[in-house]
Amino acid sequence: MSHESHHPVPGIYVHYKGARYEVLGVAHHSETEEAMVVYRALYGDYGLWVRPLDMFCETVEVQGEPVARFALEKAF
């Protein structure tokens, strides 16, 4: 199953809790080939993170309303 059309573009994203992140791209797990979003925190120690693509792109419920887990603020 391909998620090419759902890949987040490189840029700055805002997590629904308010933190900002720089998405670097999409990588694939070496064993399972699962698509993973690679991103860097824009606060603290600017650590690198990965999250499954499907989870990165999903919506979450906040006060009864669906919102994007990560919303694009600025594409590069």
Model's pTM, two decimal places?
0.87
The domain 4-75: what is its CATH number? 2.30.30.320
Q: What is the pLDDT of residues 28-75, one digit of tens each?
A: 999 999 999 999 999 999 999 999 999 999 999 999 999 999 999 999
| SS3 assignment, position 6 | helix
Q: What is the DSSP string of 2-33?
A: --GGGPPPSEEEEETTS-EEEEEEEEE-TTT-
Domain locations in the chain as residue ranges: 4-75
